[in-house]
Homo-oligomer: A and B are copies of this chain.
């Protein structure tokens, strides 16, 4: 399926479009000839970064607003063919420190958005950025979509509620909504200035600064990773294919343990070091242990699979940050 034709001259709205995934998606949509509108509040705890879109900002419509703002939202969704709903609070620790902010962005604002779409543009095709955090600790590996959902932190609760509302609005109102449960994502334009959102972003930071990568525990913990372009592919496939309507799909990639990941990053960078440190108590309590996802369902139904190897993805990511690091560190 050549998805580019689904987007030519089509209107697409991206919530959280200044962020990591959103800004990469916006670029691809422009390549496909879409008319792209961004809504983003540039929250200081989010991945939003003006530099992410600075070179293409004249080709986009950018609305600086919170997705909780019904009025702005109602105007923004009118006339849109697609809505890529990526705005979210992603920090697991942050969700324990400020659970109401987490709930507000990931659940309350999502319900508002769905109501605004139902009232103003029920034909819009919505893809929601979910997370593998909703599973909690894995009972088996790889984790498929039928795995029990036992979130270990507030973020898993609020994101699960957000995805459930999307599915209810499909079932009850016939709206086109789908959910991608995303795993660890890395690549150009991710937040690497601190460890708030992702550990791998922080590892890139340490590597670029010549500091030791710190591995919590013994590094045996297994995770899977997607390069951001592959996630963009999944979003585009999902919105373009009616089969995806009302569905929840895992993303996922080849599993690797964190020690091997650190070694690979250092090897590709050509310099660097790692050290093992004890797991901080606050993180340990909400840590999900080993995880990698079964992405067989989206592979069978939409033909998606990761295209970029971890090696190539790390090369591209380091290349990007070596050139642009002053905007991200």
Contact = CB atoms under 8 A, between A and B. Distances in A.
A108 interface: yes
Number of copies: 2
A111 B100 contact: yes
Given A157-B161, A164-B151, A172 B96 contact: yes
Size band of the A side of the interface?
Answer: 20 to 34
A116 to B, nearest CB: 12
A158 B164 CA distance: 9
A181 interface: no
A107 interface: yes
A172 B151 CA distance: 11
Interface in A85-109: 96, 99-100, 103, 107-108
Contacts of A168: 151-154, 156-157
A148 B151 contact: no
A286 interface: yes
Interface in A133-167: 146, 148-154, 156-158, 160-161, 164-165, 167
A64 interface: no
A201 B30 CA distance: 57
Contacts of A164: 151, 156-157, 160-161
A246 to B, nearest CB: 10
B286 A172 contact: yes
A9 to B, nearest CB: 34
A158 B157 contact: no
Contact of A108 (B96, B103, B146, B148): B103
A73 B31 CA distance: 54
